[in-house]
Amino acid sequence: MDPQPLERAARRRRWLQRLTLLAVLAAVLYLGLLGSRVLWPVRYESLIYEQADAHHLDPDLVGAVIFAESRYRQAAVSPQGALGLMQLMPSTGQWIAEQLGLETPSIDDLLDPALNIRLGTWYLAQLLDRFGDTQLALWAYNAGPSNVDRWLETGDSPFPETSAYAERATSVRFIYRIYFRFPLVRSLTPSLVF
């Protein structure tokens, strides 16, 4: 009996198995990215790029902060009264606008994505400059710089919600790094905002 037909059949079977595995892996990757994009939406990319660049921030950090703050919901209002994509308290938004020489923003103004991202990125950059550490800046963005100063002075732990916030922003930053550095990935996956 000639072994060549059996060998050819075995080779075809191995190739078919490899192609099937490759197709399954491609489908899993695509669906994983699709799931990621649905779970971790991206909106306002041009505003994020523009303001991140203006304030020397990584766009993925800005994207992760927006996710952690509002999940990309423009009209988000927290129970404490923080507003918009980057969840600025009205008093903080007014203080930032004053620092930037802008008119005092109204509540509606703070819900505008362009202004909200401009003020929020400026504030985040200031906190990074002040504390010199991303985690401390995230704590300060969430709980205020005076609380972080106190925690550093006393050695106390941050509020549980502040720790959870910083963990959330840090953990999704990787996803946003992929989205912002590889536009092809972003364009291949639809984005939904809950």
Just list the catalytic residues.
Answer: 69
Q: Among residues 77, 73, 39, 56, which one has the least CA distance to residue 125?
A: 56
Q: Which residue matches tokens 């202004």?
A: 115
Would you state the torsion angle of the CA atoms of residues 134, 137, 142, 145, taken in this order, to the nearest 10 degrees? 160
The helix (H) or strand (E) run that includes residue 42 is none
> Environment class of residue 116 by beta-carbon count within 10 Å: exposed (0-12), middle (13-18) or buried (19+)?
buried
Cα separation of 120 and 106, whole Å? 15
Phi (first) and psi of residue 77, to 5 degrees: -135, 125
Q: Which residue matches tokens 């953990």?
A: 171
